[in-house]
Chains A and B, each alone.
Chain A
Amino acid sequence: MKLLLLNAIKGLWRKKIQIIAIILLLMIATILYVASNNAINRLEDGYYDYLEKQQVEHFSFVPAMENLQLEDLDLLQAIALTEEEEGIVQQAKFCLPDCNPQTMMMLRSIFAKYNLQVELNKDEIDKIAEKHGFDYELTQSKLRTDGTKYYKAILYDETKQINQPYLLEGNLPQADNDVAILYNYAQANNLKIGDQYELNGEQYNIVGTVFLPDYVYPIMTINTPMFDEENNNIFLMNEATYQAFVGSENKVFSARFHEEFDLKHRSYIEGPIFGEDGIIAEDEINMTTNNFLRLLRVDTIQADLEPNRTFTNAFVNVLLGISAVIILIVVKKRIENEKSQVGILKAVGYSASSIASSYLVYPFIGVLFGCTIGYFLGLLLSEPLIEVYVSYYNVPLPGYQVTLEYLSRIFLFPLILLSTVSFIIAFLMVKKPPLYLLKEGSNLKVNFFAKLSNKILKKRAFKTRFKYSLAFRSLGKLMIVTIVSFASGMLITLFMIGSGLFTELLDQTFGNMKFDYIVSYNTFMKEEAEDDLFLNLDNTIVKIAASDGSEIAFEDEITVTLSGLDAPQYLKIEDGEENDLIPAAEENKVLVSYRFAELNKVGVDDFLYFEINDEEYKFIIAGIYQDYFSRMIFIDRAYLSELYGFEEPVYNQKYSIDEKYGDTSKIEDEELAQIEGIFGVRELEKNIEDEIEVFIMLFM
C-alpha cells in the first residue's frame, strides 16, 4: 500500500498542469465561499445584534376606524376644524354609530387628516397587545422636501424603548433646537458636531450623529428606492423643536413583541397575529403601508445578503463540479497509462479497492493546498467586502474576527466529493480482470455517468434507460453549454444596457405617463383644478350578468377600485386599436381592463353590480382598455360622486405636472395637511436609471 501511494504521489508531477488547475479551482471556490460567507455572516450577526440591542420595532400600525363612536368625537374638540368639517361633525352627533356610509367616510377622512387614528380604540389596542404580547409606542415624524433633499424630523424622547437611536458621536438632543443627525448624512455633507444647520429659516445645533435601527437603509418615501446618503437626512429633536418643524406629519404605533421574535424569518404578511391581508386577526387594527417602507428600511440588507449568499454558493458548487470533472479525467488518464502495470499488481493479488484508494492522493493534495490557501485568502478578502456592505447601510461595523465556522464545509465537502469521484472512476477501471488489463490494446474506457445512470435506471424500461444514458453521456457537453449560456446571458444583459434598449423600454413605460406627480389626499377635495382629478373608491362586485341578463358566476369578493374621472389630459385609456375609450365612460357606463375582462369572462355590454349606500347599482361595460394588471374600473367622476351622496363632484387623487409637488415648502400649509402622499413619477424614473447606471458601473 505504501508503494502504491508513493506511485500515485510521484505521478502527480506528470500531471502537474491538471493538478494546478484543480488546486486553483478549489482555491477560487474557497476564496469565494469564505470571503462572502464570512462577510455576510458577520454582518448579519452584527445587524441582528444591533436590531435587538436598539429594540427595533417588529411592526407598526394605526388603528382602523371601522367603529367610530360618539365619544370619539371628543377628540375633535381641541382642533380648529373648517366650517365644512364642523358641519359633518354636527351631522355625525345625531347619527353615530350608525350614520350613512357617506357621512362615515367623511368623518373618517377628518380623523385621518388630523392624525387622530392613533387616539382611537385605546382600550381595544391594549387588549390586543396584551393578548399577543407586544408593547407599542407612538412614533411621530414630519417630512419635508425641497425636491432633491429630504428632511425628516423625528420626535426624540429618552423614555422611548422601541427604535432607540444608536449614538455614534456627541449627544442625543435635549435643549431646544438641538438635533442629532444621521452619521452618513453628516459624512457626505461635511457636517460636524457643533455646526449650525439652517432649514426653512430655523437654526439647528448639531449635537450628535446617530444610526437608527429602523432606518438601516434610510430611504424616506416609497418613490425614493435608492438610498442616497447625501440627500436623505433625519433629525432627532425634542418636543418643542419638533412642534415648530413644518412638514407633513405621520403618526404610527411602533410595536415589539415581548417574546423572542425571529427577525430572520419575519414576514409581515404571515406573522403570528396577522391575517393573510396584513390585517391583525382581530380586525380592529389596520396595518398601514408604513410597514412596507419599514420592510425596505430595515430588511433591505437581509434581502440583499440572501441572494448574494445563494449566488456565491451556487457558483462555488459550479467550480467544485468542474474540479470533479478534471479530477475524473486526470485519474482516468493516469490509470489508462498504467493499465498493464496495474494488471501485474492485480495478477499478484492486490485488490482493486487498495489500488483505487491510492489515487485518492489527487483529491487530497488538491483540497489540502487549494482549500487552505483559499481559506486564508478568503478571510483576508472578507474585510474589504464587509466595508463595502457597511458603507452602503447604516449599521455599526462588527469588529474583526477569525471564524473557523466554514472549515468543515470548505474542506470536508470538496474532499468527500472529489474523493468519491476519483475512487469510483479508479475502482471501475481497476476492477477489470488482470488478464484484460495486461492485454495490449485493451480498452479501459469507462463512461462513469452512463454506468451510473444504467444502475439507477436498471428497473426502468429500456427506452427510458436509453434516453437517460444518452443524456448522461452528454453531461460534460451539458456543463459546457450551461457555463457558456450563463456567460452569454450576462453578455446579452450588458449588451442590452449598453445599447440603450433598457432606456428605450423606460421611455416607453414612462412616456405614456404625461404627468409628473400623483398626489393622494386624505380627504375629499372640491376645489376644481387644472390637473386630472380622480375619485378612487374601493368597492366589491356583488353580481355579474351577461348582456342578455343571465348571471355569470365569479369568485366571491372581487374588490376593485372604482375610479371616477373627467377628461384626463395626462392619461390615455385606449383599447387594442388605440381608440380613445374615455368618452364612452358616461353615466353608468364603465371601462374595465383587459385582464379583468379575461379573468371574469365578461365583455362589452355585460353588467356589473355594486352596492353603494345599501342600494344596488348596475353598471354596463362600455369598453375594455389595454392594461394587463389594472383592477381599476373607470367611470364618470360626477356620476360616481353623486352615487356616493356628494352634492358636487369630489376627488381624492390628482395627476399633476405642477412643480410645487416636488418641493413641499411650496405647497400651502392647508393643502399640505390634506396630502396623504405624493408619488413622483420622474423621480422614480430617474431612480431606475440610476440603478441601471450602478449596474453598468459594476460590470464595465
Chain B
Amino acid sequence: MSVYTLKNVKKIYNQRNVALDGVDLKVQEGEIMVILGPSGSGKSTLLNVLSGLDYPTSGEIYYYKEKLNNKDEEALAEYRYHNLGFIFQSYNLMPTLTAFENIELGKTHQNDCDIEQIMRKMDLIDQKDKYPYQLSGGQMQRVAIARSLIKNPKVIFCDEPTGALDEKIGKIVLEKLQNINETQKTTIVLVTHNPSIAQIAHTVVKMNSGKIVEKYKNNKQARASELRWV
C-alpha cells in the first residue's frame, strides 16, 4: 500500500522560481526512499510538501486516502503531530534540556514508548543527563532521531541527516535508521546529495531541476555499516 501519492505536484516560488515541476510519485508503506539530486534540484521542497510543512502551488497529494493539499495549517499540524517524525541536518536540540529531556520533548502523545529503551537502542544511555553542548555531532543527531522516534511515527522525514557528520558517525546514524525501519516498519523518506546512501534504499529517486529524472527499485540493499562512502 502506498503511504503517499503525488499527482502532478508543482511548487513555484514568487511566480518564477520553479522548485517542483510536475512531480508524480508513490511512497510505499515500510520502505526506505532515498531522494538524490544536486543542490537546488528541489529535494527539500519535495520533502516539505510531502510532510505538510509547505503547500504545493498545484497538484494533488494524498496520505493514504487523505487529501493533504487543501487542509488548513491547523489540520496539517494535527496530521504531523500524530504521524510524522523529522530529522534535519542541524539537530535543533533545546540547549537547556538534557539528552533525556530532549527526547521526552518529542513525546507528543501518550504511548508505551520507553525513553531509556530507545536511548539504549541509540547507544545514548551513557549520555542520558548530558546537555547538548556536551555531546558530539553524531550523538546529537542520534538524540534527534530518538526524539522523532519516541512517538512511534508512521513516517520519518530526514533532510540530509548525515550532512554534518563524517563517514564513521554518518554510518552509525544510518544504521540506526535502518534498524528502525526493519523493526518498526517505519517508512523513511531520506533526502541527500550523497549517492552512496542510495545503497540502503528500497527505492531511489533522482531529481534535477524540479523533475524526477529517474526512479528505480534497489533489490540488493546494503547494510549501512558496509556502505562504500563516496
Asked whether, in the complex, the Cβ of B53 is within 8 Å of the Cβ of A3, the reply is no
Asked whether, in the complex, the Cβ of A348 is within 8 Å of the Cβ of B85, the reply is yes
Q: Which of A386-415 contact B (CB under 8 A)?
A: none
Chain B residues with CB below 8 A from A11, complex form: 96
Give the complex CA separation of A10 and B105 in angstroms.
14
Chain B residues with CB below 8 A from A433, complex form: 53-54, 73
Chain A residues with CB below 8 A from B101, complex form: 3, 6-7
Q: What string of 1s and 0s marks CB contacts (under 8 Å) between A346-359 and chain B?
A: 11111100000000
Q: What string of 1s and 0s marks CB contacts (under 8 Å) between B33-54 and chain A?
A: 0000000000000001001011
A345 close to B (CB within 8 Å)? yes
Give the complex CA separation of A433 and B54 in angstroms.
9
Chain A residues with CB below 8 A from B97, complex form: 3, 6-7, 10
Chain A residues with CB below 8 A from B148, complex form: 348
Asked whether, in the complex, the Cβ of A349 is within 8 Å of the Cβ of B105, the reply is no
Asked whether, in the complex, the Cβ of B106 is within 8 Å of the Cβ of A348, the reply is yes
Asked whether, in the complex, the Cβ of B94 is within 8 Å of the Cβ of A349, the reply is no
Chain A residues with CB below 8 A from B93, complex form: 341
A343 close to B (CB within 8 Å)? yes
A14 contacts which of B73, B88, B96 (Cβ < 8 Å)? B96
Give the complex CA separation of A11 and B151 in angstroms.
25
- The answer to whether A435 and B48 touch (CB under 8 A), given A349-B81, A349-B82, is yes
Interface centre among B54, B80, B84, B92 (most CB of A within 10 A): B92
A417 close to B (CB within 8 Å)? no
Give the complex CA separation of A3 and B102 in angstroms.
8
Q: What string of 1s and 0s marks CB contacts (under 8 Å) between B51-95 and chain A?
A: 101100000000000000000011001111110111010101111
Which residue from chain B places its CB closest to the CB of A345 in the assembled complex?
A: B105
Which residue from chain A places its CB closest to the CB of B53 in the assembled complex?
A: A435
> How far is the CB of A334 from the nearest CB of chain B, in Å?
10
B96 contacts which of A7, A345, A349, A350 (Cβ < 8 Å)? A7
Asked whether, in the complex, the Cβ of B81 is within 8 Å of the Cβ of A438, the reply is no
B108 close to A (CB within 8 Å)? yes
B104 close to A (CB within 8 Å)? yes
Asked whether, in the complex, the Cβ of B104 is within 8 Å of the Cβ of A438, the reply is no
Q: Which of A70-97 contact B (CB under 8 A)?
A: none
Give the complex CA separation of A349 and B77 in angstroms.
5
A63 close to B (CB within 8 Å)? no
Which residue from chain A places its CB closest to the CB of B55 in the assembled complex?
A: A433
Q: Which of A1-20 contact B (CB under 8 A)?
A: 3-4, 6-7, 10-11, 14
A584 close to B (CB within 8 Å)? no
- The answer to whether A341 and B81 touch (CB under 8 A), given A349-B108, A438-B88, is no
> How far is the CB of B21 from the nearest CB of chain A, in Å?
20
Q: Which of A234-249 contact B (CB under 8 A)?
A: none
Asked whether, in the complex, the Cβ of B53 is within 8 Å of the Cβ of A347, the reply is yes
Chain B residues with CB below 8 A from A346, complex form: 77
Give the complex CA separation of A341 and B96 in angstroms.
11
Asked whether, in the complex, the Cβ of B92 is within 8 Å of the Cβ of A438, the reply is yes
Give the complex CA separation of A347 and B86 in angstroms.
8
B80 contacts which of A340, A343, A348 (Cβ < 8 Å)? A348
Asked whether, in the complex, the Cβ of B96 is within 8 Å of the Cβ of A348, the reply is no
Asked whether, in the complex, the Cβ of A349 is within 8 Å of the Cβ of B80, the reply is yes
Asked whether, in the complex, the Cβ of A340 is within 8 Å of the Cβ of B90, the reply is yes
Give the complex CA separation of A524 and B123 in angstroms.
113
Q: What string of 1s and 0s marks CB contacts (under 8 Å) between A417-443 and chain B?
A: 000000000000000011100100000
Give the complex CA separation of A433 and B48 in angstroms.
12
Q: What string of 1s and 0s marks CB contacts (under 8 Å) between A454-480 and chain B?
A: 000000000000000000000000000
> How far is the CB of A19 from the nearest CB of chain B, in Å?
14
Asked whether, in the complex, the Cβ of B92 is within 8 Å of the Cβ of A340, the reply is yes
Give the complex CA separation of A433 and B51 in angstroms.
13
Give the complex CA separation of A349 and B147 in angstroms.
13
Give the complex CA separation of A349 and B153 in angstroms.
12
Chain B residues with CB below 8 A from A6, complex form: 97, 101
Give the complex CA separation of A279 and B93 in angstroms.
80
Interface centre among B74, B86, B104, B148 (most CB of A within 10 A): B86
Asked whether, in the complex, the Cβ of A434 is within 8 Å of the Cβ of B96, the reply is no
A691 close to B (CB within 8 Å)? no
Chain A residues with CB below 8 A from B106, complex form: 348
A344 close to B (CB within 8 Å)? yes
Chain B residues with CB below 8 A from A345, complex form: 105
A344 contacts which of B77, B82, B92, B104 (Cβ < 8 Å)? B92
Chain B residues with CB below 8 A from A598, complex form: none
A3 contacts which of B73, B90, B104 (Cβ < 8 Å)? B104
A66 close to B (CB within 8 Å)? no
Which residue from chain B places its CB closest to the CB of A347 in the assembled complex?
A: B86
A338 close to B (CB within 8 Å)? yes
Give the complex CA separation of A344 and B51 in angstroms.
13
Chain A residues with CB below 8 A from B79, complex form: 349
Give the complex CA separation of A44 and B151 in angstroms.
63
Give the complex CA separation of A14 and B77 in angstroms.
30
Asked whether, in the complex, the Cβ of A341 is within 8 Å of the Cβ of B53, the reply is no
Which residue from chain B places its CB closest to the CB of A4 in the assembled complex?
A: B105
Chain B residues with CB below 8 A from A344, complex form: 86, 88, 92
> How far is the CB of B94 from the nearest CB of chain A, in Å?
5
Chain A residues with CB below 8 A from B80, complex form: 347-349
Give the complex CA separation of A341 and B101 in angstroms.
13
B92 contacts which of A4, A7, A343 (Cβ < 8 Å)? A343
Chain A residues with CB below 8 A from B105, complex form: 3-4, 7, 345
Spell out A's residues near B (CB within 8 Å). Answer: 3-4, 6-7, 10-11, 14, 338, 340-341, 343-351, 433-435, 438
Among all A-B residue pairs, the 7 with the closest Cβ atoms: A349-B81, A10-B96, A349-B80, A3-B105, A344-B92, A340-B92, A11-B96
20 A-B contact pairs sorted by A residue (CB < 8 Å): A3-B97, A7-B96, A11-B96, A338-B94, A344-B86, A344-B92, A347-B80, A347-B84, A348-B80, A348-B81, A348-B148, A349-B77, A349-B79, A349-B84, A350-B77, A350-B81, A351-B74, A433-B73, A435-B54, A438-B88
Q: A347-B53, A347-B84, A438-B88 are in contact. List 20 more A-B contacts (CB 8 A).
A: A3-B97, A4-B105, A7-B96, A7-B97, A338-B95, A341-B92, A341-B94, A344-B86, A348-B85, A348-B86, A348-B106, A349-B78, A349-B81, A350-B77, A350-B81, A350-B108, A351-B74, A351-B77, A433-B54, A434-B53
